[in-house]
Amino acid sequence: GENVEQHPSTLSVQEGDSAVIKCTYSDSASNYFPWYKQELGKGPQLIIDIRSNVGEKKDQRIAVTLNKTAKHFSLHITETQPEDSAVYFCAAIQYSGAGSYQLTFGKGTKLSVIP
């Protein structure tokens, strides 16, 4: 099955600086890579995603890059704000045949933005 590695496990940045979280995956058949933000006491929420036919995607202060050859993808947050503090999860999706599919999550990165 798929294996997703995520680094770092914790990350502290000063407000206004950039934050980068990196993930690698093992299954070359995976073709959809979402990023989720989980705030305390809440379920994960999608913040950005990328498909395997795209190398980079940007949405305001958030960007994701994908290198299919190397099987790694990264989340970039610029001009960080205290409200960006949360746990971030990367994920990869693989299809098991007969229409079934499964998300495999990384272990998460706890991001702290220091005012």
Partner 1 sequence: SAVISQKPSRDICQRGTSLTIQCQVDSQVTMMFWYRQQPGQSLTLIATANQGSEATYESGFVIDKFPISRPNLTFSTLTVSNMSPEDSSIYLCSVGGGAGREAFFGQGTRLTVV
**Binding stretches for partner 1 (CB under 8 A):** 31-32, 34, 41-46, 49, 51, 89, 93, 95, 99-103, 105-108
Given the complex with partner 1, which of 29 and 81 has the nearer CB atom?
29
The token pair that represents 42 in the structure block: 């809440």
Given the complex with partner 1, which of 4 and 77 has the nearer CB atom?
4
Least distance (Å) between residue 41 CB and partner 1: 7
Least distance (Å) between residue 16 CB and partner 1: 28
Least distance (Å) between residue 2 CB and partner 1: 11
Given the complex with partner 1, which of 14 and 100 has the nearer CB atom?
100
Q: How far apart (Å, rounded) are the C-alpha atoms in residues 85 and 83?
A: 5
Given the complex with partner 1, which of 1 and 115 has the nearer CB atom?
1
Instruction: Identify any residues that bridge with 29 across adjacent strands, giving them in sequence order.
Output: none
Measured distance between the N- and C-terminal CA atoms of the chain, rounded to whole angstroms: 41
CA 105 to chain centre: 9
Of residues 71, 99, 57, the one with CA closest to residue 4:
71
Least distance (Å) between residue 106 CB and partner 1: 6
Q: How far apart (Å, rounded) are the C-alpha atoms in residues 114 and 10?
A: 13
